[in-house]
């Protein structure tokens, strides 16, 4: 058992994957000699060499394109997009090629590709370093979207994503990289994308979140228990696509109330999908409106710190939303 | 801007109240502090004054309705002022339901009006329906009578008494011990005090309260309550006196009973009893007791077995004062005698201490509370 930050757990998983499977290689901007801008790949270039830890040119389309080609050739590429904000040039490769290859070839060709993407708001990040992109890609059939919120999950889900024969977008909360710590077992089985995690069991309302917001949700739920006697169930979705619908429906059939928290913009965010699912399949269990707490519909996380705090939901905002819905 | 009057919180443990009567109609002018309506809580009836001057624009809660503390009762503003179109408390309570509530109501063929809403603006929540179903199951567990009869709806007071009495016998192992005292000294002294204080109504109850309060000073274990982490000894002695009402029972409390001289006690007892019967007690006058006396003898009862008023440790029952033949110095004589029943919580104390307490209490009575006479003379 070791105490790790989120970024350490990711580095640990990459190291293990490179050591265990000769087909695994990683590529991206500055991931080689520099060890990645967040140090996710630090030391790996020295350990595994330039053929397996491969610096790429500044072309996201190229990084993903190389990954798709290598995956079709039965390698196990792990691509890094330096910031989610830069993923858009690769949109066609991901959406048009990787996600649809299996369908297009009638099951003949698989794309066992992992794309690691640091996402989300971080103070001082501004326009080009703060985007959340899960909803853009969750709309696309054929892609899996994984968003771990604990070091243990980050490590075993990254192994699971590499094992998965489908393209997986592995979203990493960069604000949580060093903020989130946790115990990671010495040995742990890989976790394939899919199941949600009941981070805290409760009966008064269900709180759905992922990534950094799942971490904050647990903090807020503990305070709600301590300060208000409210017993909140926190469901860390971990995988957005395919969504663990059973866990979502089971939780709300127990509590009757649902709150979704995400740092992506509110409109057409993934919270809308959960709200729709609940209204569709758990209508008679609902004892209140399905509420969303999300970043406002503005183009970027503000650079100004005060406005940044207004933009990004935090434990205080989540607690207020819990109290509001519980009182309904 | 109209002012909203909400159901006030009339004391620490009060969570709801019933509107018994509106003293004004919608459209009537009202002055600030002018009585607007009467409210019944599980403790007392109270008049609620208007929080502002103006016109009573709207009444949200009708007579006979019970609502939670904080529920809007009425709107007071200027004549002709636009009343904001908003759901009244009543509309919210019986209006639209969440899907979960609607399904439960339909499944159990429940009338929404029978379920008390705890949600925002009196909304019925799923938990409210579940709680209602649970309580209904409990209530209907004994086979309901099919013979001709009628069901009396529970008043808040009846419900409160029932809750308290059930809680008492379910939590405290209670023992009742019966004693007998000679009230001759009390009656003799009453004559003296009546002469000294014309116009003041003296009953033996004043002596009984005085003697009890003094015995509580000597034996604080009876002025106590059982708690999970120990026995809590009250440092103040507030003696409650059960007063029978037409619709039930109320226990006004004589605060610091041990510090009052007999004439003051007599005055306090008369005042509290009169106002209790008139329904004019303030909520806080019927709470905070540390010991209770029930004078069922007033109705002719000789010996009773009172139930402790929780969370107190004991209660004293007073039987009827009667001339009875007793043996004094080998001869049969008639004396004014009275039976006392002490019910105590056996978790807190044992019989020997109960005996010591009653010896002390009755010693005070049989000596006519001399100490109090001295205190009064000083």
Predicted confidence (pLDDT) per residue in A204-228, tens digit: 999 999 999 999 999 999 999 999 9
**Residue A258: its pLDDT value, please?**
98
**Residue A181: its pLDDT value, please?**
97
Is B106 part of any domain? Answer: no
Beta strands per DSSP E along chain A: 2-5, 24-28, 53-55, 76-80, 114-119, 144-146, 168-173, 181-184, 197-200, 205-209, 232-236, 239-241, 258-265, 291-295
Is B47 part of any domain? Answer: yes
Contacts for B291 with CB less than 8 Å, ≥ 6 apart: B212, B216, B222, B223, B237, B238, B239, B240, B312, B313, B314, B315, B316
**Residue B212: its pLDDT value, please?**
96
* Cα–Cα distance, B31 to B253 (Å, whole number): 33
Report all structural domains of chain A as residue ranges with CATH numbers, in order of start: 2-184 (3.40.50.970), 197-327 (3.40.50.920)
pLDDT surpassing 90 at residue B370:
no
- Look at residue B222 and give its three-state secondary structure: helix
Q: Which residues of A touch B99 (CB under 8 A)?
A: 283-287
Q: Which residues of A touch B102 (CB under 8 A)?
A: 284
pLDDT surpassing 80 at residue B14:
no
Is B276 part of any domain? Answer: yes
Helix (H) or strand (E) holding A88: none
ipTM score: 0.76
List, for residues B170-226, the tens digit of each pLDDT value: 889 999 999 999 999 999 999 999 999 988 889 999 999 999 999 999 999 999 999
Is B306 part of any domain? Answer: yes
Contact: A285, B100; criterion CB under 8 Å: yes
* Cα–Cα distance, B58 to B330 (Å, whole number): 77
Q: Classify residue A186 as exposed, middle or buried by CB count within 10 Å of its CB (0-12, 13-18, 19+).
A: exposed
**Residue B141: its pLDDT value, please?**
61
Is B297 part of any domain? Answer: yes
Contact: A287, B120; criterion CB under 8 Å: no
Contact: A256, B119; criterion CB under 8 Å: no
Query: Based on the domain organization, do B80 and B169 belong to the same domain?
Result: no
High-pLDDT (> 70) share of chain B, % = 91
In chain B, the residue whose alpha carbon lies closest to the alpha carbon of A256 is B100
Contact: B123, A284; criterion CB under 8 Å: no
* Cα–Cα distance, B360 to B355 (Å, whole number): 9
* Domain termination site, one of B69, B86, B103: B86
In chain A, the residue whose alpha carbon lies closest to the alpha carbon of B120 is A328
* Cα–Cα distance, A85 to A64 (Å, whole number): 15
Query: Based on the domain organization, do B69 and B196 belong to the same domain?
Result: no
* Cα–Cα distance, A80 to A30 (Å, whole number): 9
Query: Based on the domain organization, do B289 and B199 belong to the same domain?
Result: yes
List, for residues B267-319, the tens digit of each pLDDT value: 999 999 999 988 888 888 988 999 999 999 988 999 999 999 999 999 999 99
**Residue B145: its pLDDT value, please?**
60
Mind telling me how many Å the CA of A284 is from chain B's nearest CA?
5
pLDDT surpassing 70 at residue B373:
no
Mind telling me how many Å the CA of B128 is from chain A's nearest CA?
11
Cβ atoms of A167 and A99 within 8 Å: the answer is yes
Is B184 part of any domain? Answer: yes
pLDDT surpassing 80 at residue B81:
no
B256 an active-site residue? Answer: no
Query: Based on the domain organization, do B78 and B175 belong to the same domain?
Result: no
* Mean pLDDT rounded to a whole number for chain A: 97
Low-confidence ranges of chain A (pLDDT < 50): none
List, for residues B33-76, the tens digit of each pLDDT value: 899 999 887 767 888 899 889 999 888 888 888 888 888 899 89
* Mean pLDDT rounded to a whole number for chain B: 87
* Domain termination site, one of B30, B64, B86: B86
Range of the domain at B293: 160-377
Q: What is the CATH number of the domain that holds B336?
A: 3.30.559.10
Average pLDDT over residues B238-250: 90
- Tally of domains within chain B: 2
Binning pLDDT at 50, 70 and 90, where does residue B234 land? very high
**A243 DSSP assignment:** T
Is B114 part of any domain? Answer: no
* Cα–Cα distance, B288 to B308 (Å, whole number): 14
Q: Which residues of A touch B126 (CB under 8 A)?
A: 256, 287
Cβ atoms of A158 and A170 within 8 Å: the answer is yes
* Helix B370-377 × helix B262-277 angle, to 10°: 100
How many helical (H) and strand (E) elements, i.e. helices and strands, does chain B have? 9, 18
Query: Based on the domain organization, do B262 and B359 belong to the same domain?
Result: yes
Mind telling me how many Å the CA of A281 is from chain B's nearest CA?
12
* Cα–Cα distance, A146 to A137 (Å, whole number): 11
pLDDT surpassing 50 at residue B89:
no
* Cα–Cα distance, B214 to B316 (Å, whole number): 14
Helix then strand then coil, % of chain A, to nearest 5: 40, 20, 40
Query: Based on the domain organization, do B334 and B203 belong to the same domain?
Result: yes
List, for residues A48-82, the tens digit of each pLDDT value: 999 999 999 999 999 999 999 999 999 999 999 99
Helix (H) or strand (E) holding B220: none
- Pick from B72, B23, B76: which is nearest to B53 by CA? B76
* Cα–Cα distance, B357 to B212 (Å, whole number): 9
- Residue A310: CB atoms within 10 A of its CB come to 15
Contact: A286, B120; criterion CB under 8 Å: no
A155 Rama sector, left if φ>0, alpha if ψ -120 to 50, beta otherwise? alpha
Q: What is the dihedral of CA B199, B205, B207, B210, to 10 degrees?
A: -110
Q: What is the CATH number of the domain that holds B53?
A: 2.40.50.100
Q: Which residues of A touch B123 (CB under 8 A)?
A: 328
Query: Based on the domain organization, do B80 and B171 belong to the same domain?
Result: no
Query: Based on the domain organization, do B176 and B313 belong to the same domain?
Result: yes
**Residue A85: its pLDDT value, please?**
97
Contact: B126, A256; criterion CB under 8 Å: yes
Query: Based on the domain organization, do B201 and B320 belong to the same domain?
Result: yes
* Per-residue three-class SS string for A8-35: HHHHHHHHHHHHHCCCEEEEECCCCCCC
The token pair at B154 is 């529970």
Query: Based on the domain organization, do B165 and B71 belong to the same domain?
Result: no
Binning pLDDT at 50, 70 and 90, where does residue B371 land? very low
* Domain termination site, one of B35, B51, B86: B86
Beta strands per DSSP E along chain B: 3-6, 16-22, 29-30, 35-40, 45-49, 54-59, 66-68, 72-77, 174-182, 224-227, 230-233, 239-245, 248-250, 253-254, 291-294, 314-318, 322-328, 331-345
* Cα–Cα distance, A75 to A80 (Å, whole number): 16
List, for residues B114-143, the tens digit of each pLDDT value: 888 888 888 899 999 998 888 887 776 665
Q: Residues in chain B whose beta carbon is closer than 8 A to a beta carbon of chain A?
A: 98-103, 119-120, 123, 125-127
- Chain B interface mutation, best of A279, A284, A290, A325, highest count of B Cβ atoms under 10 Å: A284
**Residue A220: its pLDDT value, please?**
98
Is B136 part of any domain? Answer: no
Query: Based on the domain organization, do B220 and B322 belong to the same domain?
Result: yes
**Residue B255: its pLDDT value, please?**
94
Q: Residues in chain A whose beta carbon is closer than 8 A to a beta carbon of chain B?
A: 256, 283-288, 327-328
Query: Based on the domain organization, do B239 and B357 belong to the same domain?
Result: yes
Mind telling me how many Å the CA of B101 is from chain A's nearest CA?
7
Contact: A287, B101; criterion CB under 8 Å: yes
pLDDT surpassing 80 at residue B322:
yes
Contact: B99, A286; criterion CB under 8 Å: yes
């Amino acid at each position: 058992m070791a105490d790790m930050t989120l970024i350490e757990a990711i580095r640990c998983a990459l190291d293990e994957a490179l050591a265990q499977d000769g087909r695994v290689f990683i590529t991206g901007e500055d991931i080689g000699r520099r060890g990645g801008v967040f140090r996710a790949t630090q030391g790996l270039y020295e350990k595994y060499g330039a053929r397996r830890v491969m610096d790429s040119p500044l072309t996201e389309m190229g990084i993903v394109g190389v990954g798709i080609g290598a995956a079709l050739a039965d390698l196990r590429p792990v691509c890094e997009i330096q910031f989610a904000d830069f993923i858009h040039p690769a949109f066609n490769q991901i959406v048009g090629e990787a996600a649809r290859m299996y369908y297009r070839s009638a099951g003949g060709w698989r794309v066992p590709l992992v794309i690691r993407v640091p996402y989300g708001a971080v103070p001082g990040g501004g326009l080009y370093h703060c985007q959340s992109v899960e909803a853009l890609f969750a709309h696309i059939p054929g892609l899996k979207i994984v968003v771990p919120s604990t070091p243990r999950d980050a490590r075993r889900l990254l192994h699971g994503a590499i094992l998965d024969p489908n393209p997986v977008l592995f979203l990493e909360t960069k604000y949580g990289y060093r903020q989130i710590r946790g115990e990671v077992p010495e040995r742990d089985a890989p976790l394939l994308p899919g199941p949600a995690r009941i981070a805290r069991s409760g009966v008064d309302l269900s709180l759905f979140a992922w990534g950094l917001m799942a971490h904050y949700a647990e903090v807020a739920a503990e305070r709600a228990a301590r300060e208000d006697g409210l017993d909140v169930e926190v469901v860390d979705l971990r995988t957005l696509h395919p969504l663990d619908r059973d866990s979502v429906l089971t939780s709300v059939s127990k509590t009757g109330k649902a709150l979704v928290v995400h740092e992506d913009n509110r409109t057409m965010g993934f919270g809308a999908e959960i709200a729709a699912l609940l209204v569709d399949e758990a209508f008679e269990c609902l004892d209140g409106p399905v509420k969303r707490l999300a970043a406002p519909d503005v183009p970027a996380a503000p650079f100004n710190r005060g406005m940044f705090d207004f933009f990004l939901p935090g434990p205080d905002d989540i607690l207020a939303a819990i109290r509001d819905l519980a009182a309904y | 801007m109209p002012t909203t009057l909400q159901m006030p919180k009339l004391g620490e443990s009060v969570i709801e109240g019933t509107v018994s009567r509106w003293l004004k109609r919608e459209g009537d002018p009202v002055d600030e502090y002018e009585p607007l309506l009467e409210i019944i809580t599980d403790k007392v009836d109270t008049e609620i004054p208007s929080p502002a001057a103006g016109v009573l624009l709207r009444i949200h809660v009708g007579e006979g309705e019970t609502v939670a503390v904080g529920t809007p009762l009425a709107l007071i503003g200027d004549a002709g002022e636009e009343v904001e179109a908003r759901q009244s408390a009543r509309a919210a309570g019986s209006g639209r339901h969440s899907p979960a509530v609607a399904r439960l109501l339909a499944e159990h063929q429940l009338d929404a009006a029978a379920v008390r809403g705890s949600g925002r603006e009196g909304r019925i929540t799923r938990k409210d329906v579940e709680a209602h179903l649970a309580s209904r199951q409990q209530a209907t567990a004994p086979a309901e009578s099919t013979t001709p009869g009628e069901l009396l709806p529970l008043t808040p007071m009846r419900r409160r008494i029932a809750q308290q009495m059930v809680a008492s016998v379910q939590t405290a192992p209670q023992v009742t011990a019966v004693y007998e005292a000679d009230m001759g000294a009390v009656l003799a002294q009453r004559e003296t005090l009546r002469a000294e204080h014309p116009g003041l109504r003296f009953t033996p109850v004043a002596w009984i309260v005085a003697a009890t309060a003094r015995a509580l000073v000597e034996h604080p274990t009876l002025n106590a309550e059982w708690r999970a982490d120990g026995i809590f000894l009250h440092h103040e002695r507030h003696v409650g006196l059960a007063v029978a009402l037409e619709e039930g029972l109320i226990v006004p409390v004589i605060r610091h009973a041990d510090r009052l001289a007999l004439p003051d006690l007599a005055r306090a007892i008369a005042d509290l009893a009169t106002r209790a019967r008139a329904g004019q007690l303030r909520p806080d006058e019927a709470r905070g007791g540390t010991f209770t006396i029930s004078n069922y003898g007033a109705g002719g009862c000789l010996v009773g077995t009172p139930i402790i008023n929780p969370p107190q440790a004991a209660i004293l029952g007073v039987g009827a004062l009667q001339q009875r033949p007793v043996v004094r110095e080998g001869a049969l004589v008639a004396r004014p005698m009275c039976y006392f029943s002490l019910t105590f919580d056996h978790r807190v104390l044992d019989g020997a201490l109960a005996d010591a307490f009653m010896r002390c209490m009755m010693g005070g009575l049989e000596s006519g509370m001399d100490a109090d006479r001295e205190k009064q003379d000083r």
